[in-house]
């Protein structure tokens, strides 16, 4: 395959980047791209695993990581584990694949310079102090060190990028962490979103849009004029970019550039660069960028090459159905860093909870804090809902009036994040991140007939198979649901009856020092 390479040599390549850096403390390494994120993780025992054993990207790679670190709503056995780099990919001798970078709340906290319980507030602060991206010259953009053009006779996405299939029934290879960057060609407003992208041919991808996505609105406007929509697909990124991109309206309304949230997280702007083949920007420090155009009035069957009827495993833990009519991206070029790392995820795993859930938490926290300062202590977008469908809200009741405010907080949360289905309310003595503690509160502070709020026939999420008229004939369409609030807080006037047994506070370390090793200062 023909390729062009820049002659500049001031960017790190595969041999001198992430693997060889081993400083003493993770916090000493600033993160501005994927490689510096990996360098930081490499200093923390148990957070990053590399293997040279050959792996097949078709089903095997995801099957391995399902057992090592996927977690989430993946069928058991699975577990939380390290991020993993596969250095030897069958059929792709020059490629490496990373999976699970964000498949742990602890790992995300280390990468975003905070602690697991403070991630919500850190993300909320980044929204309030967003910094807009900037454009740099091409000689400052590592993502364009190597360029492949679709006009080359031997260009073939299927041979160039080791896009994995998660299961043997997938519609095809998927780019599972491809961040699509598109712009409204009339207003110039930009948006970034992660979408389901299936490799359909040598220079074609299909793209699935869930209802209400902003880039789809840009596409529809362009299509109405008979025009293609130029987009870049950015892979292998600073995790601040991926997580910041997963905020949704109304927190980030149409016209809000989510890249500015990553800027707020890092305290400096994300760097963009002009694409080499289309009138669009790409993320300058990405590992791999696909440049292309969403064609007007062209549709394709998602599983046209396999006929399985399935797309890929989605965040609720089920196979998403193959879509019979999806827009097509015509690829114009692929640009890469030297020694590029392909980044992917296991669809229903804990990584989705981090990507979708932490922005969900921040959106809810900011909205409730604005309405009721100091009332909401913590939010956890639970992994059982893939970070989207289930949230636990910890509230601080100080009067009988607050019994009603707890439920009001739940209503605000449902308004802020439309895809939420269930909310569990707990008191400040319950750890919202500990499912056993939450279930204890539900068992001892909840009565189904008096502690439940039902809000029927509200828009939810199309990928939840229970949100269909076939499951509940009262529902008018797929993606409409009954939303439920489980009030597992103690009534304020009975608070003394619900006081937990109080044990003496004792330092256990002298009795069992091996169980309490000193924590690494990662902040």
Closest to 396 in 3D by CA, of 414, 423, 363, 372? 372
The candidate with the shortest Cα–Cα distance to 74, out of 465, 314, 348, is 348
Note if 314 is an active site residue: yes
Q: How far apart are CA 149 and CA 2, in angstroms?
A: 8
Q: Number of C-alpha atoms within 13 angstroms, CB side, residue 355?
A: 30
Residues 6+ apart with CB under 8 A from 216: 209
C-alpha 46/C-alpha 100 separation (Å) is 13
- Element containing residue 487 per DSSP (H, E): strand 480-487
Of the candidate CATH numbers 2.30.110.10, 2.60.40.2380, 3.30.530.20, 3.30.43.10, the domain formed by 4-351 belongs to 2.30.110.10
From 242, 260, 240, select the one nearest 251 (Cα to Cα). Answer: 260
Which helix (H) or strand (E) segment holds residue 264: the answer is helix 259-266
Cis peptide before 250 (omega within 30 of 0): yes
State whether CATH 3.40.640.10 applies to domain 372-498: no
Q: Do domains 4-351 and 372-498 have the same CATH topology?
A: no
CA angle 324, 328, 331 (to 5 degrees): 150
CA distances to 361, 421, 468, 477, 481 from 457, rounded to whole Å, are 24, 11, 11, 9, 5
Where on the phi/psi map is residue 297: left (φ > 0), alpha (ψ -120 to 50), or beta?
left
How far apart, in whole angstroms, are the C-alpha atoms of residue 358 and residue 341? 25
> pLDDT tens track of the chain, all 523 residues?
666 777 554 334 433 344 444 444 666 899 999 999 999 999 999 999 999 999 999 999 999 999 999 999 999 999 999 999 999 999 999 999 999 999 999 999 999 999 999 999 999 999 999 999 999 999 999 999 999 999 999 999 999 999 999 999 999 999 999 999 999 988 989 999 999 999 999 999 999 998 889 999 999 999 999 999 999 999 999 999 999 999 998 999 988 999 999 999 999 999 999 999 999 999 999 999 999 999 999 999 999 999 999 999 999 999 999 999 999 999 999 999 999 999 999 989 999 999 999 999 999 999 999 999 999 999 999 999 999 999 999 999 999 999 999 999 999 999 999 999 999 999 999 999 999 999 999 999 999 999 999 999 999 999 999 999 999 999 999 999 999 999 999 999 999 999 999 999 999 999 999 998 765 444 4
DSSP 424-470: EEE-TTS-TT-HHHHHHHHHHS--TTTSEEEEEEEE--TT-TTSSTT
Q: d(Cα 398, Cα 427) in Å, to the nearest integer?
A: 11
CB 476: neighbour CB atoms within 10 A?
9
Phi, psi (degrees; rounded to nearest 5) at 404: -75, -35
| Given the residues 287, 291, 314, 351, the one annotated as active site | 314
The structural domains of the chain, with segments of one domain joined by +, span 4-351, 372-498
Q: What are phi and psi of 134, to 5 degrees?
A: -130, 160
DSSP 84: E
Helix axes 358-371, 119-128, angle to 10 degrees: 70
């Amino acid at each position: 395959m023909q390729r062009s390479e820049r002659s500049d040599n001031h960017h790190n390549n595969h041999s001198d980047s992430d693997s060889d850096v081993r400083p003493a403390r993770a916090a000493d390494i600033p993160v501005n791209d994927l490689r510096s994120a990996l360098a930081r993780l490499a200093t923390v025992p148990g957070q990053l695993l590399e293997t040279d054993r050959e792996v097949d990207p078709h089903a095997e790679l995801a099957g391995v990581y399902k057992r090592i670190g996927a977690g989430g709503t993946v069928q058991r056995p699975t577990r939380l584990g390290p991020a993993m780099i596969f250095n030897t990919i069958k059929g792709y001798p020059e490629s490496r694949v990373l999976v699970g970078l964000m498949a742990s709340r602890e790992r995300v906290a280390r990468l975003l310079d905070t602690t697991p319980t403070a991630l919500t507030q850190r993300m909320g602060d980044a929204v309030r102090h967003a910094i807009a991206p900037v454009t740099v010259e091409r000689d400052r953009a590592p993502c364009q060190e190597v360029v492949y053009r679709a006009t080359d006779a031997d260009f073939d996405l299927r041979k160039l990028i080791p896009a994995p299939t998660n299961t043997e029934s997938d519609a095809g290879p998927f780019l599972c962490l491809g961040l699509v960057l598109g712009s409204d060609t009339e207003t110039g407003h930009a948006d970034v979103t992660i979408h389901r992208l299936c490799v359909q041919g040598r220079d074609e991808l299909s793209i699935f849009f869930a209802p209400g996505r902003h880039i789809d609105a840009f596409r529809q406007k362009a299509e109405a004029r008979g025009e293609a929509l130029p987009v870049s697909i950015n892979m292998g990124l600073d995790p601040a970019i991926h997580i910041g991109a997963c905020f949704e309206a109304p927190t980030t309304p149409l016209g809000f550039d989510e890249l500015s949230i990553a800027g707020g997280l890092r305290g400096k702007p994300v760097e963009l660069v002009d694409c080499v083949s289309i009138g669009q920007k790409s993320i300058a420090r990405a590992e791999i960028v696909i440049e292309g155009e969403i064609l007007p009035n062209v549709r394709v069957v998602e599983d046209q090459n396999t006929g399985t009827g399935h797309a890929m495993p989605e965040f609720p833990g089920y196979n998403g159905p193959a879509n019979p009519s999806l827009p097509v991206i015509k690829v114009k070029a692929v640009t890469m860093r030297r020694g590029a790392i392909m980044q992917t995820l296991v669809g229903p795993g804990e990584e989705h909870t981090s990507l979708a859930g932490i922005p969900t938490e921040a959106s809810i926290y900011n909205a409730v804090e604005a309405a009721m300062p100091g009332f909401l202590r913590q939010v956890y977008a639970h992994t059982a809902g893939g970070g989207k469908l289930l949230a636990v809200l910890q509230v601080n009741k100080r009067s009988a009036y607050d019994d009603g405010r707890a439920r009001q907080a739940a209503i605000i949360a449902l308004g802020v994040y439309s895809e939420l289905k269930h909310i569990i309310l707990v008191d400040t003595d319950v750890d919202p991140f500990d499912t056993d503690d939450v279930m204890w509160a539900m068992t001892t502070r909840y009565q189904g007939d008096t502690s439940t709020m039902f809000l029927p026939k509200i828009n939810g999420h199309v990928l939840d198979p229970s949100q269909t008229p076939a499951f509940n004939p009262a529902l008018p369409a797929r993606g409409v649901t009954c939303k439920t609030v489980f009030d597992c807080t103690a009534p304020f006037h009975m608070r003394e009856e619900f006081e937990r047994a109080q044990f003496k506070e004792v330092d256990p370390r002298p009795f069992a020092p091996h169980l309490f090793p000193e924590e690494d200062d990662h902040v």
